[in-house]
């Protein structure tokens, strides 16, 4: 019998159950189908279900609920009422199309001074000095662009890579790139559209982290406390700068770096002095999946996870044996990744966690 655990639920438990509330309060037709079906199989529980339903309904108000369209209007009104805001360029459609990789790096320039403000003197000398050690090109014959305007400034580098430097951003690059690699040094925020050239990787150095790409677009931002790199598609390597310096002579970075794939991000933790890998806030589909693929009819749950992996490029980790008897009947078309996961977890009595850039599923298993 499916979903037999609900048989043990008290009225009190039912009123708190997400799937039950989804039916009674949100009037979700998917959940309604689930419960009506469950009731035909568990007719003896009808009184209990009726009571729990009546209890929630008794507390309910005349339906003042607004439709998604009305909520959209309200959203617009609220934003306008609070004064004009600038839509960040990476949220504009044009950018979404253009960018293959979205990288948010916080240069940590301020963080460095923040932590070490006791010896500011030393810091100002130390940064260029250490930079000199591993990137002579950036300390001898270089050009530095400093945007003091209130508008972003766009310019091209000699390799045709395009840079948008944001107000208060400072970018340093050599007059002539090294043959082996293209190196730039950034404080502040900049958007890079890097010309692809696998023979000459592009490096963005900041005080805390260094990012290596072969050719793609990404955003680098400076922030007092945080450092973050988020990937839209493709592959990006992020290193802590201390590690890059240490391993420079041997020429290998594998051990110290974090490799990011789509919808993953690396956050630099100031306190732990390490890079933490996680999932981005708003994962997007990296590959077009036919609409019908997200309509499931008694599909083995493991198939559903495989499809999610394919769509979002994020690993889904689960214990296959405990999910053996779990099947999903649902239409998840048009839901975001997290909404999909929420529905799947609700129906299969499981929960998920985001660990180390992966989706980890915990399940108590399903009854036959």
Question: Which residues make up the interface to another protein (CB under 8 A)?
Answer: 10-12, 15-18, 21, 25, 47-48, 50-51, 53-66, 68, 71, 74-75, 77-79, 81-83, 85, 87-88, 91, 281-282, 338, 342, 345-346, 351-353, 362
**CB 33 within 8 Å of CB 71:** no
| Run of H or E residues at 301 | helix 301-312
Rounded least distance, CB 161 to another protein, Å: 27
Rounded least distance, CB 346 to another protein, Å: 7
| Run of H or E residues at 341 | helix 337-348
Rounded least distance, CB 360 to another protein, Å: 12
Pick between residue 178 and residue 335 the one whose CB is nearest to another protein. Answer: 335
Q: d(Cα 110, Cα 113) in Å, to the nearest integer?
A: 5
User: Among all chains, which residue has been given the structure tokens 């009104």?
Assistant: 77
Q: d(Cα 3, Cα 17) in Å, to the nearest integer?
A: 13
Pick between residue 104 and residue 186 the one whose CB is nearest to another protein. Answer: 104
Long-range Cβ contact pairs of 193-200 (< 8 A, separation 24 or more): 193/98, 193/99, 193/161, 193/162, 193/163, 193/217, 194/161, 194/218, 195/159, 195/160, 195/161, 197/159, 200/159
Is 364 exposed, middle or buried (CB count within 10 Å of its CB: 0-12, 13-18, 19+)? exposed
Distances (CA, A) of 54 to 14, 18, 112: 12, 16, 59
Q: d(Cα 342, Cα 30) in Å, to the nearest integer?
A: 13
Rounded least distance, CB 120 to another protein, Å: 26
Pick between residue 53 and residue 241 the one whose CB is nearest to another protein. Answer: 53
Pick between residue 65 and residue 128 the one whose CB is nearest to another protein. Answer: 65
Distances (CA, A) of 216 to 68, 96, 175, 196: 36, 13, 22, 6
Q: d(Cα 266, Cα 243) in Å, to the nearest integer?
A: 15
Rounded least distance, CB 238 to another protein, Å: 20
Pick between residue 66 and residue 143 the one whose CB is nearest to another protein. Answer: 66
Pick between residue 258 and residue 361 the one whose CB is nearest to another protein. Answer: 361
Pick between residue 86 and residue 118 the one whose CB is nearest to another protein. Answer: 86
Rounded least distance, CB 103 to another protein, Å: 16
* Number of other CB atoms surrounding residue 268 within 10 Å: 25
Pick between residue 68 and residue 334 the one whose CB is nearest to another protein. Answer: 68
Rounded least distance, CB 345 to another protein, Å: 6
Rounded least distance, CB 82 to another protein, Å: 4
């Amino acid at each position: 019998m499916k979903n037999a655990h609900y048989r043990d639920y008290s009225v009190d438990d039912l009123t708190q159950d997400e799937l039950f509330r989804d039916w009674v309060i949100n009037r979700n037709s998917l959940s309604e189908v689930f419960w009506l079906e469950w009731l035909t199989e568990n007719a003896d529980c009808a009184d209990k279900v009726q009571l729990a339903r009546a209890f929630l309904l008794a507390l309910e108000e005349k339906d003042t609920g607004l439709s998604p369209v009305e909520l959209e209007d309200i959203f617009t009104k609220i934003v306008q009422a609070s004064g004009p805001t600038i839509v960040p360029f990476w949220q504009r459609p044009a950018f979404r199309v253009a960018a293959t990789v979205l990288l948010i790096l916080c240069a940590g320039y301020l963080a460095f001074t923040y932590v070490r403000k006791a010896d500011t003197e030393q810091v100002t000398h130390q940064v260029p000095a250490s930079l000199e050690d591993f990137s002579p090109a950036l300390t001898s014959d270089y050009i530095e662009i400093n945007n003091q305007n209130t508008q972003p400034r766009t310019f091209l580098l000699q390799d045709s890579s395009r840079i948008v430097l944001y107000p208060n951003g400072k970018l340093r690059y050599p007059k002539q790139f090294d043959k082996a690699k293209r190196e730039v040094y950034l404080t502040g925020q900049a958007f890079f559209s890097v010309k692809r050239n696998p023979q000459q990787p592009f490096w963005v150095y900041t005080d805390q982290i260094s990012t290596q790409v072969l050719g793609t677009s990404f955003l680098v931002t400076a922030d007092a406390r945080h450092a973050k790199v988020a990937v839209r598609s493709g592959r990006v390597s992020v290193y802590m700068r201390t590690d890059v310096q240490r391993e420079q002579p041997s020429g290998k970075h594998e051990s110290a770096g974090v490799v990011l794939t789509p919808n993953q991000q690396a956050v630099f933790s100031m306190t732990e002095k390490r890079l933490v890998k996680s999932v981005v806030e708003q994962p997007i589909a990296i590959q077009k999946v036919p609409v019908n693929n997200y309509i499931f009819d008694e599909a083995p749950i493991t198939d559903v996870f495989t499809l999610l992996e394919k769509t979002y490029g994020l690993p889904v980790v689960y214990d296959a044996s405990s999910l053996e008897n779990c099947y999903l009947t649902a239409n998840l078309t048009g839901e975001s990744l997290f909404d999909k996961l929420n529905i799947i977890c609700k129906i299969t009595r499981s929960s998920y966690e985001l660990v180390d850039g992966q989706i980890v599923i915990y399940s108590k298993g399903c009854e036959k």
